């Protein structure tokens, strides 16, 4: 009973501390919230290659989960350029590679469709280690699996940055509106 009371008190204290620091949930109000609305107004341009297809699909799933791929009339578009590299590591005495490192880098830009202004220009990066085994099929399967995982990680990083940008942009718009209304009084 004493432990339960201590746990309750600790929860109450931490709740007070977190609310006092100004921490706000990123996806407040679910799909009707400001961040979700901003994300759903972004279309994703075609991205070259297999990695590009995987990244674009992951982005589309998160930006427009209930969409039917209708990108007409979106306020913004996202341009993504990928760099996919596989590097051999762990070389044996007979010059065979025992380990590979697959690296996927993305440079992405969020562009306003009306003005053509680049609103956000950032990069995302992820890498994975791959063991090289005796079976070539298993190695190719591991490389493909790594690419799928890296593509999802890159898409998650991009979505997080876009959500953060839209939240901060929304805060700036709200602050400007409240400053203008208080100046008019």
Helices (H) and strands (E) in the chain, counts: 4, 4
Check pLDDT > 90 for residue 8.
Answer: no
Helical (H) or strand (E) element with 14 = helix 2-20
Residue 17 belongs to a domain: no
Residue 95 belongs to a domain: yes
Cβ contacts of residue 65 below 8 Å, gap of 6+?
A: none
Pairing of strands 97-112, 118-131: antiparallel
Q: What is the pLDDT of residues 64-105, one digit of tens each?
A: 876 555 556 788 999 999 999 999 887 788 877 888 999 999
Any idea which of 5-19, 67-81, 148-162, 167-181 has the lowest mean pLDDT? Answer: 167-181
Confidence of residue 17 (pLDDT cuts 50, 70, 90): low
Q: d(Cα 60, Cα 137) in Å, to the nearest integer?
A: 30
Check pLDDT > 70 for residue 14.
Answer: no
Tokens 């997080």 correspond to: 160
The pLDDT value recorded for residue 75 is 87
Check pLDDT > 80 for residue 9.
Answer: no
Residue 37 belongs to a domain: yes
Residue 2 belongs to a domain: no
Residue 38 belongs to a domain: yes
C-beta separation of 80 from 114 below 8 A: no
Cβ contacts of residue 42 below 8 Å, gap of 6+?
A: 63, 74, 75, 76, 77, 78, 110, 162
Query: Which of 153, 123, 165, 154 has its CA nearest to residue 38?
Result: 165
Residue 116 belongs to a domain: yes
Cβ contacts of residue 81 below 8 Å, gap of 6+?
A: 47, 106, 107, 108
pLDDT above 90 covers a percentage of the chain that reads 46
Q: What is the CATH number of the domain that holds 145?
A: 3.30.160.150
Burial profile 121-151: b = 16 or more Cβ within 10 angstroms, e = fewer = eeebebebebebeeeeeebeebeeebbeebb
Question: Which is more confidently placed, 162 or 170?
Answer: 162
Residue 98 belongs to a domain: yes
- How many domains are there within the chain? 1
Residue 20 belongs to a domain: no
The pLDDT value recorded for residue 16 is 63
Quote the domain boundaries for residue 133. 28-176
pTM (two decimals): 0.75
The sign of the CA dihedral 166, 168, 170, 173 is negative
Q: What is the pLDDT of residues 98-150, one digit of tens each?
A: 889 999 999 999 999 999 999 999 999 999 999 888 888 998 999 999 999 99
Helical (H) or strand (E) element with 183 = helix 136-184
The sign of the CA dihedral 62, 67, 72, 74 is negative
Q: What DSSP line would sit under 127-162, residue for residue?
A: EEEEE--S-HHHHHHHHHHHHHHHHHHHHHHHHHHH
């Amino acid at each position: 009973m004493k432990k339960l009371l201590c746990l309750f008190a600790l929860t109450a204290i931490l709740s007070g501390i977190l609310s006092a620091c100004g921490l706000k949930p990123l996806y407040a109000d679910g799909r009707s919230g400001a961040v979700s609305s901003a994300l759903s107004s972004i279309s994703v341009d075609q991205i070259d290659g297999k990695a590009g297809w995987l990244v674009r699909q992951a982005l589309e799933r998160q930006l427009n989960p209930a969409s039917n791929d209708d990108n007409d009339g979106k306020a913004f578009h996202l341009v993504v350029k990928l760099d996919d590299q596989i590097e051999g590591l762990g070389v044996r005495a007979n010059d065979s590679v025992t380990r590979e490192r697959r690296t996927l880098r993305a440079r992405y830009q969020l562009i306003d469709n009306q003005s053509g202004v680049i609103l956000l220009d950032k990069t995302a990066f992820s890498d994975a280690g791959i063991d090289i085994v005796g079976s070539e099929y298993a190695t190719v399967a591991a490389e493909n699996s790594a690419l799928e995982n890296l593509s999802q990680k890159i898409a998650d990083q991009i979505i997080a940055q876009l959500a953060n940008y839209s939240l901060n942009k929304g805060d700036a718009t709200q602050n400007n509106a409240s400053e203008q209304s208080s100046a008019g009084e």
